[in-house]
Structure 1
Amino acid sequence: MSGITRWTLVLGVLVLAGIVAVLPTLRDENSAAPGASGGSNTDSGALAAARQDARLPDCPGAPGASDGAGRSRTSGPGSGPAVVPRLRDVEARCLADGERIDVGAALAGRTTLVNLWATWCGPCRDELPVLDAYASSDEAVGVLAVQVDSGELEGLELLAELGVRLPAVHDGEGRGPIRSALRAPQALPASYVITSDGQIRLIENPRVFSRVEQVRKAVRAYGGSS
């Protein structure tokens, strides 16, 4: 082996060793960078502040949870199935506290109006305050707002801006598990009545609510007790 070849090999080994030594540092820097996978302290702080500003009620299934109007949402024994069949094993993140809930179990044995909405949806922005007013009215069934296809932080900020205080979950930023299980249409908003015996019915008339009385009539027409 010539002297030139030997020195070339030595130089190559030194360069390779330098690369190996630097890689862990690069990985640590990337992990700490804002926006890196897994989130950052800034993101967690922003979400915590947004949750505090939104002041949403507990989600169904949480101890002491209400329907958004101060009424208990605890089902009595024998009031219905233990899980809504089409929502079995479906989970979502509660916007109020970030905890994951079993949606099928949380909605079982009670009649609930489930509304799918997104931050980019103009009609959703108009409809959410109507649903909030309905939930606070006499003889209303429980309402669960399901944010889909949009960011959790933006959802909390929108609810706070609108003054909407409904129990709400985040179904992810794509086509999440709730939207998929309900076989929801692409167009939003979309509302469903889930009856106490686990039946799920898409409200097709009207597709968008503009008055509380519309909500009340639709819930009755689609199997609810409002």
Structure 2
Amino acid sequence: MAENNLLQSTKCLLKDLDAIKNNVTFTSASSEQSVISSKSMELIELSIDEARLMMEFSDYLQKFEMEKHQLQKEVKRLYKENSFLRDELKRTTKNLSTYEQMNSEHIVEIEHLKFLHDVNKYDTSVESLEDEDVNDLFPSSTPATDDDNYPLADVSMITSESAISPSSLSDEFVPSRAQTIRSLVLQYASKQRYEVAIPLCKQTIQDLERTVGHVRTIVCTFELSKKEIV
């Protein structure tokens, strides 16, 4: 407010000085005043120049204040925008961390599922090969009888191939086919798959009795295996 009053006063003073200057110039031209009038004229012109300079400086200050005000508004706007971007960055970083963790968990889960799938394929192929081996060994297997039914509690004692004494096979030759079947029987028994091991053992004993007769060592080998299982 004070600056506006000062500016108005300066403008009025400038008008008065211009009027005085014109008056002094007219008087000097008509009556040819002395040197004092010339000095007064110089002072008046100097005052006029100073008043104009003050007015220009005042205009400059007003423009400067306007620009300053605009810059302050721009700074506030940029500060708000910066705060918003910082919050957005924090939220994005948090979401990124969450998604990376979820991605890691999904990768682990996928690898686990692949492993389970491979294990399942392996187990299926092994079971298929074992079933094919059994079918190849016994193409004319007889159906199971009532004697094949057994309680699971009675078959928990067999765990390894050490249940059969190797010394019992020393006095007679055991066919390689019979040795293979005996290994399969013990393998099924060690996995607690007695529903396969016991019928396989019984069927082997029957086949050996038909093919080689009641040869003591070979037949007793499977009889011992059967007793250990059942």
Q: Do both proteins adopt the same fold according to a TM-score greater than 0.5, normalized to the shorter chain?
A: no
Normalising by structure 1, report the TM-score: 0.31
Larger RCO, structure (CA 8 Å, separation 6 or more): 1
More strand by share: 1
Normalising by structure 2, report the TM-score: 0.31
